[in-house]
Structure 1
Amino acid sequence: MTQAIKAVLWDMDGTLADSEALHLSTLVAVLTHHGIEAGDDLHASIFGKTGREVHAYCCERFGIDFDYGQWSMARARHYLSEAPKMQARSGALSVYHAVRAAGTRQAIVSNSSRMLLEAGLRALDLQDPQLISISVNDVRAGKPDPEPYQRAAWLLRVTPEETIVVEDSPTGARAAIAAGMRVLAWPERESAAGTFPEGARFVRSEHELAEALGVQLTPRVRER
């Protein structure tokens, strides 16, 4: 018998926030500064990876040896300068607020650093003293390791069986499944469906997502 949902765990980038293009632009800016032209396949190659993993990938791919501290600071400066313009993913906040109105506990679980995650929360007006959020700084290993989702569930005082995760990336979906949680996969592009792990349930709109979470969308719940 499937247990009732007591908590919804949200990925941030690409799921709640339409921020993947911003993350990519920070990387392209750093590479361009060093005279490197990124290919069209760069986004697919780094999708879902942590900042440190992206750094290691670029050093290997482009044969460079950037200091990680300087690299991450350069990317962070660009990101923070652009973050106030960030928009929510279409329909995402309608579902988020509907879940909140239903009284279900929620947390946000990101592979971004605490600084970048907080910038995104500010931009989407999601900062709340009671909100539990997990950044890559809060765990020993980021997604696809299950630790970020396990930590969120522990802080919310729920079991994995009582938890459902909303993810747009295969990396995050693997982390949630490894944590023993149900997963709603909501990729931006339907073509990505074949890359998700077995067991993820696909939704294709905010209406399907709301139905899967057992909440009702109302006209009063508006996007930022």
Structure 2
Amino acid sequence: MAQPFSVDAVVWDMDGTLVDSEPLHERVFYATCRRHGVDLSDLDAGVFVGVHQYDVWNAVAHRFPPTVSREAWLADLDAEYVADQGSLTAMPDAQRIVSTLHAAGMKQACATNSAGVVVAANLMTLDILPFLQATVTLDDVKEGKPAPEPYARACTLLGVAPERAVAIEDSITGLMAARAAGLHTIGFASNHHIAAKPEFHVLADRVIHRLDEVLSLVTMPAAAR
């Protein structure tokens, strides 16, 4: 059996890790593009899992007429996501795992590539805000994942060294960001298409298939013992 990580903090990804939001992101992506007269049905939305909105726009902007700005497109994406936030559900056991770690004295944060309004919608669904010491959104950083800044900032806000923290991620870009920032990494195989890629297993120190496996992979902080 693998040795658990001896850490003082857990930094969670959000979309696809704590909240089952990828189906909504995918619907919003295609619907918003269609409203602007752009058909992107030839693209597999899975290629954008874990990719922040600015990079998504850079990948598809050449298909849009010049009258559509990045800012207008992003605003439409966020507005449609929030309007349908009632369809969001938490990943199984997400709230229980986060609250259990909190009760044991573990510092926790979220580091996500989503904008603040999307994060607020997700947090309303999850009901975990009282258990988090920090949240880092795309609005809080100069560079989103796969750059290390979101995870580095989360560790700074928590007051822990990166090597004393573990990141839990469902995407390759997220795992890249966490490793670049110096955190241990747990890959959550919630998206079978992503988890089947060799890079996922190279970047993840451990791979889990259920969130409750996290509890056996981290030791509680010394202060809690």
* TM-score, normalised by the number of residues in structure 2: 0.87
Q: Where does 1:40-189 land on structure 2 (aligned, <5 Å)?
A: 41-60=43-62, 62=63, 64-65=65-66, 66-128=68-130, 131-189=133-191
> 1:199, 1:57 → 2: CA distance?
24
Give SS of 2:130's match. Answer: coil
Q: CA deviation at 1:92?
A: 2.2
Equivalent residues, number: 214
Unmatched runs of 5 consecutive residues or more in structure 2: 221-225
Q: 5+ residue gaps in structure 1?
A: 216-224
Q: Distance in 1 between matches of 2:98 and 2:6?
A: 18
Q: For the residues of structure 2 that align with 1:197 and 1:51, how far apart are their CA atoms?
A: 25
Q: Establish whether residue 195 from structure 1 lines up as the match of residue 199 from structure 2.
A: yes
Work out the CA distance in 2 between the residues paired with 1:191 and 1:32.
25
- CA–CA distance in structure 2, aligned partners of residues 154 and 3 of structure 1: 19
- Once the 2 structures are TM-superposed, how far is the Cα of residue 197 of structure 1 from its aligned partner? 6.0
Q: 2:23 aligns with which of 21, 24, 44?
A: 21
Tell whether the 8 Å contact from 1:114 to 1:136 is kept in structure 2 after alignment. yes
Does the CA-based 8 Å contact 1:170-1:197 persist in structure 2?
Answer: no
CA contact (8 A) 1:184 1:203 kept: yes
Give yes or no for contact 2:109–2:132 (8 Å, CA) kept in 1.
no
Tell me, in whole angstroms, the C-alpha distance in 1 between the residues paired with 2:34 and 2:64: 14
Q: Which amino acid aligns with 1:205?
A: R
Give, in angstroms, the shift of residue 131 of structure 1: 3.2
Do the aligned partners of residues 209 and 42 (structure 1) sit closer, same or farther apart at CA in structure 2, a change above 3 Å counting?
A: same
Deviates more, 1:193-202 or 1:108-117: 193-202
Identity over the aligned pairs, expressed in percent? 31
- Paired with 1:108 and 1:119, the residues of 2 have a C-alpha distance of 14
Deviations 1:90-111 (A, max 9, x none): 2222221211111100001110
Aligned equivalent of 2:216, options 205, 211, 215: 211
Could you give the per-residue CA deviations for residues 113-165 of structure 1, whole angstroms, max 9, x where no partner exists?
11111121112212339631000111110000001100110111100111001
Distance 1:196 1:172 in 2: 10
**In 1, Cα distance between equivalents of 2:45 and 2:173:** 14
- Give RMSD over aligned pairs: 2.2
Decide which moves more: 170-179 or 118-127.
118-127
Per-residue deviation, residues 35-80 of structure 1 (Å, max 9, x unmatched)? 33332643122111111111111113x3544301111111111011
1:196 alignment partner, SS class:
helix
Task: Report the TM-score, using the length of structure 1 for normalisation.
Answer: 0.87
